[in-house]
């Protein structure tokens, strides 16, 4: 798992259009990883990667990051190397003061390691000033100032502060490590190629014994195993240097060959404080980065939904198909009437009792010599007989709330062949004083339109 | 005629709410529902599938159109009761190409393939004897059946319907698809399962699955609301200035953009919640999220390398202090740490006083500094409760809305709504998280999950109340039919 996988997953979540079913199929296919969401996510990202638009941001970003890191690494190494050369430059006139070298090989790493540890503790904060003082952070910032074509757009990708902070911390450790490696190389190189007389010098009143105690404390990590890499009190005494008109102490000149012994201590100090400790901090930073990456993976917008889609069964309750809707025909003219005549030749009620028909006639102030009950419980033969009798003008009562069925339409069609005029009257329930609802009458109107008969009228 | 899973055909007279019932049971708001009779012309299958495996299948069917003619044909074949279903099959075979009986064949086919019958009537309209031919045909099929009383309107003729239906069906149940709650939905499924002993186990499995599905949807909704709250409360709208000082128009612009962004967060969140509850076609009317009296402030800020003046000050002071501390160490502390202190002061003062000058420096044609105007994160302490209240209200409207309803839903929150979900204890618990969201710091996933759990508890309370019918969400004007 690395930043590239994270960026790939980010892009997949943002741009991928895979269906719920595809995600679930993938989940079922990799069911053995159900308890390892990171593995599932990585595998999914790998699977969907080819579907993303090229060039992939993760590739561009990784190569950019690689380039920056490589450049900075080379710079750091040579900076360390040349710092070492500078610190150890020996003209032969006066010895090399080990205090300067110790400041760079021990003090500087200790200070920067402490700051790094503090930065790690605060790495989850959005703004970590300890991260901001890292050269890695500032180099990246400088890149943002480059003209457009050299710049990489970060706007489309949101790298959480937690992750970017750890990224800077890890790379800072790497740079510091390379700086220290450069320093060690310079020390070893100078020792091999030159005879250097080391000494120590300070304005402060420090006795050789006190200095020895201080150096023994510094050498706690190796003094038991490599006692020869700890300067003796004698050597310390012999190598104390006072600049007195650029004249060297005679005792120092007498023990000139011993003064070079300091290199062992300096090499071990560099190795332990600048390199081994830094490697330990680098490993810690890598661990923290991996943890941050893992958390960022799981916190990515859409990850929870993706995992749910993979691991939860797909439940569907409908079959997607275009419903074959009934054809609406509103364009055909429908003959309508607002009022009924005073009398008709016959009143017919569709699925209505005879008593109800008399009541309806009375309510509508219509006089008909005959009333007939059709549909409902009637047999088809009985209906046919009624139709044969419907020769004049017919008032046909229907229940407005019951939509017209084809059974009714068949009946009406046959009746239209015989009758002179048919007025279809949708009536409401007795509780509503037989008033139909407008919506119900419209339903009847739409259905009757299909008959396209000049004899059939609808009472509005 | 045997099937591996139960099938149910929803049949009946035209326009009695068959499609509404199917829509409610299948949680599908795409089912075509119309007050024009005959809008369903082909049978539609609604299988409940889990990872492609069907647990049960519902059929929406066209209504009976020529029931008396079909019955007349059947009755011409004088056979004993055990042979009647064969006569029905013979009718289907004989009339498969007959356009006149297309609807009857469409509805009888799934029944003859083993589907249980759910006969739907509308008890808000009086009973009529024209239904008897339909019920008689269904009896001829010999399939297990039940009657479902729907109430499309207010009036009630249930008593007469029950008397009539009781003569044809051994089970008669009421179900209003427009107002059915989740528990009523499950209860109906339980009843349907009783039609056939073999169907009990698979339907019970489906019920358990629906319960899990429902709980999961509540969880997803809570997570969605949590995300909305976090994004809305922590959001900062930044507007890059081209001058050193922002004008009033700039301030208005950044505030308007901020408001629009928050409204968009809310809208997108609502759409996602509607999708979770399978209400993808929901039409709603809702008041815009307003910001009156919330005192939005926009602040001007400048940055160099992405660091504000304060951050740059701290960084420079730290850098100076580290350098000074190095000198202190070289002197083994004899400088009384003055090196560190002086370094910090020099670094800090340099960054503070030289900030503007540094911002104006051009490198490769670009200014090092950037000026911007910012609004947010939302500081008003009441806003989270307004936004959360709106989200919960919308959510409850969605949960309680049957998939059979096609009308526009009005999402206008009553003033008393807050009392229904927010008490002092909950406010205290929520405030802790709102403070974190407002701080603008990155919030851990675990924190969001804790907040989400809190929201889920509120949703579950609502859901429980809705199930018990104690929660009052009026459906007036919601009925499509």
Half-sphere exposure of A306 (CA within 13 A, CB side): 25
pLDDT score at A186: 94
* B35, closest residue in chain A (CA to CA): A443
**pLDDT, mean of residues B183-198:** 89
- Residue A42, domain member (yes or no): no
Taken in order B378, B384, B386, B389, the sign of the CA dihedral is positive
Asked if residue B315 has pLDDT above 80, the reply is no
In a domain, A276, yes or no: yes
Q: Specify the higher pLDDT residue, A1 or A333.
A: A1
A400 touches A440 (CB < 8 A): yes
Q: Is A438 on the interface with B (CB under 8 A)?
A: no
- Rounded to whole angstroms, how far apart are CA atoms B409 and B477? 9
Judge whether A37 lies within some domain. no
B interface test, pick of A406, A437, A448 with most B CB neighbours within 10 Å: A406
Of A147, A161, A304, the CB nearest to B223: A304
Provide the pLDDT confidence category of residue A159 given band limits of 50, 70 and 90.
confident
Average pLDDT on A86-100 reads 81
Across the beta sheet with B369-375, what order do the strands follow?
B237-241, B369-375, B298-304, B307-308
Q: Give whole-number Cα distances, B94 to A23, A234, B74, B102, B109, in Å.
A: 46, 121, 12, 12, 13
Domain identity same for A205 and A280 = yes
- Residue B471, pLDDT > 60, answer no
For tokens 């009990």, name the residue. B200
My answer on whether A82 and A209 are in the same domain is yes
Q: What percent of chain A has pLDDT over 90?
A: 36
Is residue A47, in this structure, part of any structural domain at all?
A: no
Under a CB-based contact definition with an 8 Å cutoff, are residues A425 and A371 in contact? no
- Which pLDDT band holds residue B326 (cuts at 50, 70, 90)? low
Taking 80 as the threshold, does the pLDDT of residue A148 lie above it?
Answer: no
- Which of A37-46, A319-328, B404-413 comes out lowest in average pLDDT? A319-328
Q: Which of residues 17-46 of A touch B (CB under 8 A)?
A: 24, 28
Measured between CA atoms, how close is A347 to chain B, in angstroms?
19
Query: Is pLDDT above 90 for A120?
Result: no
Asked whether residue A413 is domain-assigned, the answer is yes
pLDDT of amino acid B102 = 93
Pairing of the two strands A393-399 and A346-350 = parallel
Looking at the fold, whether A291 and A224 belong to one and the same domain comes out as yes
Q: What is the DSSP string of B225-269?
A: HHHHHHHHHH--EEEEESSSS--HHHHHHHHHHHHHHHHHHHHHH
Using a 10 angstrom Cβ sphere, with 0-12 exposed, 13-18 middle and 19 or more buried, the burial of residue A387 is buried
Instruction: Please report residues of B whose CB lies closer than 8 A to that of A204.
Output: 331-332, 334
A355 and A435 share one domain: yes
| Interfacial A residues in 145-174 facing B (CB < 8 Å) | 145-147, 160-162
Judge contact between B1 and B143, C-beta under 8 A: no
- Chain A, residues 213-272, CB within 8 A of chain B, namely none
Q: Supply the pLDDT for residue A297.
A: 86
Domain match, A214 and A284 both = yes
Q: What is the CATH number of the domain that holds A411?
A: 3.40.50
Tell me the nearest-neighbour CA distance from A376 into chain B, angstroms.
4
The two structure tokens encoding residue A249: 């102490």
pLDDT score for A225: 92
Q: Residue A384: its chain B contacts at CB < 8 A? A: none
Nearest CA in chain A to B155: A431
The average pLDDT across B341-361 equals 79
Q: pLDDT value at position A455?
A: 87
Cα B12 to Cα B110: distance, rounded to the nearest angstrom:
14
Give the mean pLDDT of B332-349.
75
> Is the same domain home to A183 and A250?
yes
B125 touches chain A (CB under 8 A): yes
pLDDT at A56 over 50: yes
* pLDDT at res. B478: 37
Which of B311, B326, B366 lies nearest to residue A129, judging by beta carbons? B311
Look at B46 and A318 and tell me if their CB atoms are within 8 Å: yes
Residues A268 and A381 in one domain: no
Domain presence at residue A22: no
Per CB-CB distance under 8 Å, the chain B contacts of A24 are 51
Write out pLDDT tens, residues A409-454.
999 999 999 999 999 999 998 888 889 998 889 889 888 888 888 8
- Per-residue pLDDT of A360-407, as tens digits, reads 999 989 999 989 999 988 999 999 999 999 888 999 999 999 989 999
Q: Averaged over B121-149, what is the pLDDT?
A: 94
- Flag if A405 and B14 touch (Cβ within 8 Å): yes
In this prediction, residue A134 carries a pLDDT of 63
Contact B131, B121 (CB under 8 A): yes
Cβ-defined contact of B52 to A299 (cutoff 8 Å): no
Is A15 within the bounds of a domain?
Answer: no
Task: Classify residue A45: in a domain, yes or no.
Answer: no
Chain segment A262-275, per-residue pLDDT in tens: 899 999 999 999 99
Structural domain harbouring A197? 57-298
Whether residue A289 sits in one domain with residue A228 = yes
* Beta bridge pairs of residue A240: A200
Total domain count for chain A? 2
pLDDT at A245 (0 to 100):
54
Q: What is the pLDDT of residue A163?
A: 83
Residue from B34, B37, B61 to probe the interface with A (highest A Cβ count within 10 Å)? B37
Flag if B332 and A410 touch (Cβ within 8 Å): no
Beta strands B237-241 and B369-375, pairing class: antiparallel
What integer best gives the mean pLDDT of chain A? 84
Please answer whether residues A383 and A415 qualify as being in contact, where contact means their C-beta atoms are separated by less than 8 angstroms: no
- Which among A264, A282, A298 is the end of a domain? A298
Using H for helix, E for strand and C for coil, what is the string for A367-417?
A: ECCEEEEECCCCCHHHHHHHHHHCCCEEEEEEECCCCCCHHHHHHHHHHHH
Query: Judging by beta carbons within 10 Å of its beta carbon (0-12, 13-18, 19+), is residue B389 exposed, middle or buried?
Result: middle
Angle between helices B182-193 and B445-467 (to 10 degrees): 70
A348 & A288 share domain: no
Report the distance separating Cα B430 and Cα B387, nearest Å. Answer: 13
Q: Is B463 helix (H, G, I), strand (E, B) or coil?
A: helix
A214 and A281 assigned to the same domain: yes
Query: If DSSP codes are grouped into helix, strand and coil, which group holds residue A261?
Result: coil
Task: For A159, name the nearest residue in chain B, comparing CA atoms only.
Answer: B442
Are A135 and A268 found together in one domain? Answer: yes
Contact predicate B425/B180, CB 8 Å: no
**Of the segments A61-70, A146-155, A163-172, B221-230, which one has the largest average pLDDT value?**
B221-230
Report the SS3 class of residue A245: coil
Residues A90 and A230 occupy one common structural domain? yes
């Amino acid at each position: 798992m690395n930043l590239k996988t994270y960026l790939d997953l980010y892009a997949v979540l943002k741009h991928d259009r895979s269906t719920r079913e595809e995600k679930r199929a993938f989940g079922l296919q990799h069911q053995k990883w159900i308890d390892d969401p990171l593995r599932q996510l990585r595998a999914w990202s790998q699977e969907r990667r080819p579907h993303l638009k090229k060039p992939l941001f993760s590739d561009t970003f990784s190569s950019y990051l690689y380039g920056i890191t490589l450049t900075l690494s080379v710079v750091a190494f040579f900076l360390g190397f040349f710092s070492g050369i500078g610190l150890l430059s020996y003209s032969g006139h006066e010895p090399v003061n080990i205090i300067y070298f110790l400041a760079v090989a021990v003090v500087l790493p200790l200070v920067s390691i402490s700051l790094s540890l503090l930065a790690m503790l605060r790495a989850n904060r959005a703004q970590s000033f300890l991260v901001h003082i890292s050269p890695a952070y500032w180099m990246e910032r400088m890149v943002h100032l480059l003209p457009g074509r050299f710049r990489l757009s970060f706007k489309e990708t949101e790298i959480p502060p937690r992750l970017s902070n750890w990224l800077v911390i890890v790379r800072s450790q790497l740079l510091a490590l390379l700086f220290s490696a450069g320093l060690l190389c310079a020390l070893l190189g100078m020792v091999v190629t030159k005879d250097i007389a080391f000494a120590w010098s300070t304005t402060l009143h420090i006795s050789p014994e006190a200095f020895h105690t201080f150096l023994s404390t510094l050498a706690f990590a190796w003094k038991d195993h490599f006692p020869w890499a700890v300067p003796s009190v004698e050597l310390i005494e012999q190598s104390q240097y006072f600049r007195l008109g650029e004249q060297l102490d005679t005792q120092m000149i007498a023990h000139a060959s011993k003064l070079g012994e300091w290199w062992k201590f300096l090499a071990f100090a560099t190795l332990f404080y600048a390199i081994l400790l830094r490697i330990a901090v680098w490993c810690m930073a890598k661990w923290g980065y991996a943890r941050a990456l893992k958390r960022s993976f799981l916190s990515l917008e859409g990850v929870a939904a993706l995992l749910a889609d993979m691991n939860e069964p797909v439940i569907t309750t409908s079959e997607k198909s275009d419903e074959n809707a009934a054809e609406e025909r509103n364009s055909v003219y429908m003959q309508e009437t607002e009022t009924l005549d005073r009398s008709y030749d016959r009143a017919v009620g569709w699925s209505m009792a005879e008593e109800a028909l008399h009541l309806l006639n009375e309510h509508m102030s219509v006089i008909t010599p005959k009333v007939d009950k059709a549909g409902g419980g009637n047999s088809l033969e009985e209906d046919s007989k009624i139709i044969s009798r419907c020769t004049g003008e017919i008032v046909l009562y229907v229940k407005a709330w019951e939509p017209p069925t084809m059974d009714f339409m068949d009946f009406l069609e046959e009746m239209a062949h015989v009758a002179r005029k048919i007025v279809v009257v949708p009536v409401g329930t007795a509780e509503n004083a037989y008033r139909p609802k407008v919506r119900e009458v419209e339903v009847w109107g739409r259905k009757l339109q299909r008959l396209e008969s000049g004899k059939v009228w609808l009472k509005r | 005629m045997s099937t591996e899973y139960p099938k149910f055909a929803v049949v009946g007279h035209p326009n009695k709410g068959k499609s509404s019932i199917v829509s409610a049971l299948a949680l599908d708001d795409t089912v075509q529902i119309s007050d024009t009779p005959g809008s369903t012309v082909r049978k539609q299958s609604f299988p409940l599938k889990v990872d492609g495996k069907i647990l049960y299948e519902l059929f929406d069917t066209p209504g009976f159109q020529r029931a008396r003619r079909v019955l007349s044909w059947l009755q011409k074949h004088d056979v004993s009761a055990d042979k009647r279903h064969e006569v029905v099959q013979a009718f289907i075979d004989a009339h498969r190409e007959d356009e006149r009986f297309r609807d009857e064949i469409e509805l009888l086919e799934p029944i003859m393939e083993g589907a249980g019958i759910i006969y739907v009537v509308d008890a808000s309209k009086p009973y009529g004897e024209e239904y008897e031919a339909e019920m008689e045909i269904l009896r001829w099929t010999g399939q297990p059946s039940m009657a479902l009383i729907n109430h499309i309107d207010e009036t009630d003729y249930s008593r007469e319907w029950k008397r009539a239906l009781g003569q044809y069906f051994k089970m008669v149940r009421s179900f209003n698809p427009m107002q059915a709650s989740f528990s009523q939905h499950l209860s109906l499924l339980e009843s349907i399962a009783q039609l056939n002993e073999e169907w009990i186990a698979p339907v019970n499995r489906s019920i358990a699955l629906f319960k899990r599905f429902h709980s999961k949807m509540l969880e997803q909704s809570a997570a969605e609301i949590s995300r909305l709250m976090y994004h809305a409360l922590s959001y900062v709208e930044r507007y890059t200035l081209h001058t050193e000082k922002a004008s009033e128009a700039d301030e208005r612009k950044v505030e308007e953009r901020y408001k629009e962004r928050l409204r968009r967060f809310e809208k997108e969140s609502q759409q996602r919640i509607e999708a979770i509850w399978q209400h993808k076609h929901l039409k709603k009317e809702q008041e815009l999220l307003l910001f009156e009296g919330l005192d939005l402030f926009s602040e001007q800020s400048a940055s160099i390398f992405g660091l504000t003046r304060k951050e740059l000050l701290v960084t420079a002071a730290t850098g100076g202090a580290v350098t000074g501390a190095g000198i202190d160490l070289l002197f083994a502390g004899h400088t009384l740490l003055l090196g560190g202190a002086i370094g910090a002061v020099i670094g800090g003062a340099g960054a503070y006083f030289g900030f503007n000058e540094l911002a104006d420096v051009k490198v490769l044609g670009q200014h090092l500094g950037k000026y911007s105007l910012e609004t947010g994160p939302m500081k008003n302490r009441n806003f989270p409760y307004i936004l959360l209240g709106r989200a919960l209200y919308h959510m409850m409207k969605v949960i309680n809305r049957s998939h059979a309803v096609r009308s526009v839903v009005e999402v206008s929150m009553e003033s008393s709504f807050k009392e229904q979900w927010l008490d002092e204890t909950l406010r205290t618990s929520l405030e802790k998280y709102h403070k974190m969201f407002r701080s603008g710091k990155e919030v851990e996933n675990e924190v969001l999950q804790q907040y989400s759990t809190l929201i889920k508890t509120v949703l579950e309370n609502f859901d429980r109340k809705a199930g018990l019918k104690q929660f009052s969400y009026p459906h007036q004007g919601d009925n499509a039919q």
